[in-house]
Amino acid sequence: MQRDALLDAARTLLSEGGTEALTFPALAERTGLARSSVYEYFRSRAAVVEELCAVDFPVWAAEVEAAMERADTDEAKIEAYVRRQLALVGDRRHRAVVAISAGELDAGAREKIRAAHGGLIAMIVKALAGLGHAQPRLAAMLLQGVVDAAVRRIELGAAEEPEDITEAAVAMVLRGVRG
């Protein structure tokens, strides 16, 4: 129960203030725990980050996967992949993962994030292969680069509306994946 409260507080801190805001005193204050109690659950900020990735990334990935499963064609699956990720940008779990990715992390935390992203990319490889790509894994990584750029644009509060960024990303990806 307390671990869940600490993770929820960490999500809020990360989404509101980035990695700089994720401190043990701030976690203690948000949860009403003593600072020493936070150390009973997590040995470091990196441990908090690793736990958030282990808990939140699978939920996020499942939402993307569910959107893809509802699509009928490989092209529609690709569109669902892009749209669902960009729709999740405002979600606290997603904002926390973005903040985490931008922060200074130890090698173990970075590897967990890389592995989670690898699982996300693997979802789209089959659809790209179905469209006839000779190198679907490479195409998937490049496609994810477009998504990541759109995420950053939305997160930065760019001059364009999030819907316009989403439409531009979908158009770019679909034109590109048609080969």
Question: For residue 103, is pLDDT > 60?
Answer: no
Of 107, 176, 106, 112, which is closest to residue 141 (Cα–Cα)? 176
pLDDT tens digits for 28-81?
999 999 988 999 999 988 788 888 878 888 888 899 999 999 999 999 999 999
In this predicted model, what pLDDT tens digit does every residue of 113-162 receive, in sequence order?
Answer: 777 777 888 889 999 999 999 999 999 999 999 998 998 888 777 788 88
DSSP assigned state of 131: T
Contact 82, 147 (CB under 8 A): yes
Q: 160 in helix, strand or coil?
A: coil
**Mean pLDDT value of segment 174-179:** 68
